[in-house]
Amino acid sequence: MSMTHPLTTTTFELPGYRVVQSFGVVRGLVVRSRSIVGNFGASIQSIFGGNISLYTSLCERTREDAFNLMLTHAGQLGANAVVGVRYDATEIAPGITEVLCYGTAVAVEKAG
């Protein structure tokens, strides 16, 4: 089950809210490697084609972990929202990937 936060967005505005304070860039960083068992299972799945669910599951968990770390970082600064959310991934060694989730931590309040 993928989790989200109602006050996060890839845009720089939250409809119905106004930014009252900005805390700067926040991030969540996760570095993962594929296991030998996972690689073997994925190799079997790739023989039959289609979605390789073992890798899909690993990627979903990694992105969710990075997202939650970013939210934790924002909360530590006193933010209640994150705007401009983005993901980035880099292979730092064969089979080892860094996933970064980042955005701008802000305090928002209901507009009006």
**How many other CB atoms sit within 10 Å of the CB of residue 70?**
26
Tell which residue, 18, 42, 37, 38, has the closest CA to residue 109: 18
Q: Which residues contact 36 (CB under 8 A, 6 or more apart)?
A: none
pTM for the complete prediction? 0.82
Task: Please say whether the beta carbons of 107 and 20 come within 8 A.
Answer: yes
What is the set of domains in the chain, with CATH numbers? 17-33+63-110 (3.30.110.70)
Task: Please say whether the beta carbons of 106 and 17 come within 8 A.
Answer: no
**How many other CB atoms sit within 10 Å of the CB of residue 19?**
15
Q: What is the pLDDT of residues 36-76, one digit of tens each?
A: 655 555 556 566 666 666 777 888 999 999 999 999 999 99
For the segment 12-19, the average pLDDT, to the nearest whole number, is: 94
- Is it the case that residue 32 has pLDDT exceeding 50? yes
Q: What is the pLDDT of residues 85-104, one digit of tens each?
A: 999 999 998 878 899 999 99
